[in-house]
Amino acid sequence: MFKSISTRWTWTCIQYRRLAIASAACPRSFRPQAKAAGAWPNLTVRCVPEPRGLYRAKASSSSNLAATASELESAKSQDALLREFAQIPVERIRNFSIIAHVDHGKSTLADRILELTGAITKQEGQHQVLDNLQVERERGITVKAQTASIFYKYKDQQTYLLNLIDTPGHVDFSNEVSRSLAACDGVILLVDACHGVQAQTVANYHLAKQRNLIVVPVLNKIDIKHAQPEKVIQDLQFLFQIDPKTVLQVSAKLGLGIKEVLNRVIESIPPPQVQREQEFRALIFDSWFDKYRGALNLIYILNGHLEQGQEIQSMATKKIYPLKTISILRPKECDVKSLSAGQVGLIACNMRNSKESIIGDTIYLKNQIVQSAGNYTPQKPLVFAGIFPVDQSKHVALRSAIDKMILNDSAVTLMVDSSPALGQGWRLGFLGLLHMEVFCQRLEQEHNAEPIITAPSVTYRIVLNNPRMIKQMGKNTLDISNAALFPEPSNIKEYYEPLVMGTIITPSEYVGQIIALCIDRRGVQQSSINIDETRILMTYVLPLSEIILDFHDRLKSLSSGYASFSYEDHGYHLTNLVRLDIHLNGRPVEELCRIVHATKATGIARQMVHKLKDLIPRQMVQIAIQACVGSKVLARETIKAYRKDVTAKLYGGDVTRRMKLLRQQAEGKKKMRMFANIRVPHETFINVLKR
């Protein structure tokens, strides 16, 4: 049966393709012909444009070909659930996030919850359905928080609506966590029963507590032989004063204890504090770009109702938009007719970019007066890098790709920038190096953009002492993230650099090496607590510039992977900085210059020229690589030129002839060296900074 359908299917498709291409007709005139000729009345034919104005028929069957009895059955129950969705009272809604350290099993637990509530099948649950970006699957980490609205029948046989948000665990994506918490009343704090409390567990716990959210503590991975649930429960009690009796134990992998988690969510997390009788008001807490519908906004409704066909207004831009579609994520998009206070939904309303669709913005019905929902502000970026198109003809395309990405990642900031070597571009701000790498990978994978990224740097603060410059700038303090824009030292009175408060949790046997690493990175210890007999929690104030590149990797390798690290902004402090310039054959390369601490300038200079010697390919001319502070050369390396044997054609003869030819060659090379454009590969700008 299947075989015959598939053969007929292929045959029909080929026929339609021929028909479409032969007629080169417009899609609309083609569609009725194709449908009329079809063997199946429900066959849908889409016409996809091909080069040279032709159209390709793309056929697909709708429901009654593919639908099995069980699918129809589930579609029916979906309908019933969606009808029920509109009537669920606020008391039967729970909004919560799953927060944890990296790899403690958030996405796996989310999968099991979706499976248990029937939102996905067991087969779909094999592949972490909420991690749907290519970069997430390739790197095996969550980078975007994902929402799912699910229905759960509680013990009292009442159906509850649970809005679940799976959040990322890595510190570089903590903006996703804080953004998600703005739409929640509680969290599941998941802790790996083998690795115990880690740095990001502490950071996320405090983030939830700052927002007065209810914390449901859950131990995961209890199926593993080495799990030590009792010890981890003790740690939770010691660090967060969590009552051991309230800690649940699950195995997300095996699906053990999931029901108990959902029951506890319903019992301990309160329903949302919202008013359905008041005027409509909602918070935009996520957005992304859809090719056909523009910006899609994920909203949390604080008051009132929203129905299809209404017009909404943005509090930030005051612009009015007609509502195109309303849906909920289960986790696939499911159209609904209306949304009420307490619910989370997705709306499309012709917003086009990140300037219109603003995370943290309040929306309301046209021309009504409501209070701002504003209880969310994006985190400040810490690491900055220049981004430039490979050639300037790609400028507009790259700008549009960046815009679409920023719509989906509100933590990234954008400023216009230009460079003599790379042309017009932008300076982007990120929360860390991984955040920057993931952003660039997504630009490439999701938007086919391959930009040049310059070396990442932090923002330094300088106080000027030159009255002429102060007058020109209109202020005496400047924040500078581009080393090339650093003024001459004679114009600067004081230098300040950004600091972070870092939390390190490590087994006690690695403490010595870790303290040495922190001292080497100019860290100052603030506290040290023994969590238990084997583990220590230390806090350090560290300069941000010392940790952005490889601190985490060094920490992991020193502690055989057992130590964990998380950090938060800790303001600026007075310091002594210098600008380290890199010269290639006497010419400064702006993209490679760096601001460094004065005491480290010589070491970094040696390291950089040595690295550049390996990274820059040999060329026709000799290349002198110099690292200088002002006019003082701190380190130098030379890359030898390719050498043509100009004396090859001589057979014996006077030695002066050989010398003459070699002298001529040397003269020519000297001239060439002055004018030659030395090619520095794009990757060099970042690779040179990695230690």
Where does this chain bind ligand GTP (CB under 6 A)? 100, 102-108, 141-142, 168-169, 220-221, 223-224, 251-253
Residue 476 burial (10 A CB sphere; 0-12, 13-18, 19+) = middle
- 3-class SS string, 77-96: HHHHHHHHHHHCCHHHEEEE
Return the HEC string of 592-646.
Answer: HCEEEEHHHHHHHHHHHHHHHHHHCCCCCCCEEEEEEECCEEEEEEEECCCCCCC
Does the annotation flag 168 for ligand binding? yes
Q: How far apart are CA 160 and CA 88, in angstroms?
A: 7
Place of tokens 């637990």: 109
Nearer to ligand GTP, 107 or 303 (CB): 107
State the minimum distance, in angstroms, from the CB of residue 197 to ligand GTP.
Answer: 14
In whole angstroms, the minimum distance from the beta carbon of 71 to ligand GTP comes to 28
What minimum distance in Å lies between the beta carbon of 493 and ligand GTP? Answer: 44
Smallest separation, CB 435 to ligand GTP (Å): 13
Contact at 8 Å (CB) between 158 and 267? no
> How many other C-beta atoms lie within 10 A of the C-beta of residue 400?
14
Q: Which residues contact 227 (CB under 8 A, 6 or more apart)?
A: 193, 194, 219, 221
**What is the nearest approach in angstroms of ligand GTP to the Cβ of residue 300?**
22
Q: Which is nearer to ligand GTP, 329 or 580 (CB)?
A: 329
Is 290 labelled a binding residue?
no
645 in a known ligand binding site: no
Q: How far is the CB of 284 from ligand GTP (least distance, A)?
A: 23
**Residue 144 marked ligand-binding:** no
The DSSP string of 243-275 is -GGG-EE-BTTTTBTHHHHHHHHHHHSPPP--B
Q: 186 labelled as ligand-binding?
A: no
Min. distance of Cβ 141 from ligand GTP in angstroms?
3
Closest distance of CB 242 from ligand GTP, Å: 19
How distant, in Å, are the alpha carbons of 453, 545, 563 from that of 551? 21, 10, 12
Distance of CA 241 to the CA centre of its chain: 32
Q: Which is nearer to ligand GTP, 253 or 293 (by Cβ)?
A: 253
State the burial class of residue 467 (Cβ atoms within 10 Å of its Cβ: 0-12, 13-18, 19+).
exposed
| Between 249 and 303, CB nearer to ligand GTP | 249
AA identity, residue 606 = R
Cβ proximity to ligand GTP: between 200 and 454 the closer is 200
β-partners of residue 98 are 166, 188
Tell me: is residue 101 an annotated ligand-binding position. Answer: yes
425 is in an annotated binding site: no
Angle at 428 between CA 427 and CA 432, to 5 degrees: 135
CA distance 183 to 167: 12
**Please, which residue, 101 or 427, has the CB nearer to ligand GTP?**
101
Distance CA 100, CA 425 (A): 37
- Least Å from the CB of residue 112 to ligand GTP: 9
Looking at beta carbons, which residue is closest to ligand GTP? 169
The residues facing 578 across adjacent strands are 596
| 104 labelled ligand-binding | yes
Tell me the torsion sign for CA atoms 232, 233, 234, 237: positive
Annotated ligand binding at 304? The verdict is: no
| Residue 170 labelled as part of a binding site | yes
Is 168 or 304 the residue whose CB approaches ligand GTP more closely? 168
Instruction: Give residue 554's identity as a one-letter amino acid code.
Output: R
Judged by beta carbon, residue 102 or residue 605, the one nearer ligand GTP is 102
Identity of the amino acid at 496 = Y
Task: Name the strand (E) or helix (H) holding 523.
Answer: none
- Taking the least distance from each CB to ligand GTP, the nearer of 140 and 374 is 140
> Cβ–Cβ contacts within 10 Å for residue 448, how many?
9
The answer to whether 100 is annotated as binding is: yes
Q: What is the DSSP letter of 198?
A: -
Both tokens of 384, joined, read 């900055």
169 is in an annotated binding site: yes
Residue closer to ligand GTP by CB (options 136, 591) is 136
Residue 198 or 357 with smaller CB distance to ligand GTP = 198
For 550-586, give the secondary structure using H, E and C. Answer: CHHHHHHHHCCCCCEEEEEEEEEEEECEEEEEEEECC
> In the complex, what is the shortest distance from the CB of residue 247 to ligand GTP, in angstroms, rounded to a whole number?
15
- Rounded to a whole number of angstroms, the minimum distance from the CB of residue 138 to ligand GTP is 12
Q: Which residues are annotated as a binding site?
A: 100-107, 166-170, 220-223
Binding-site residues from annotation for GTP: 100-107, 166-170, 220-223
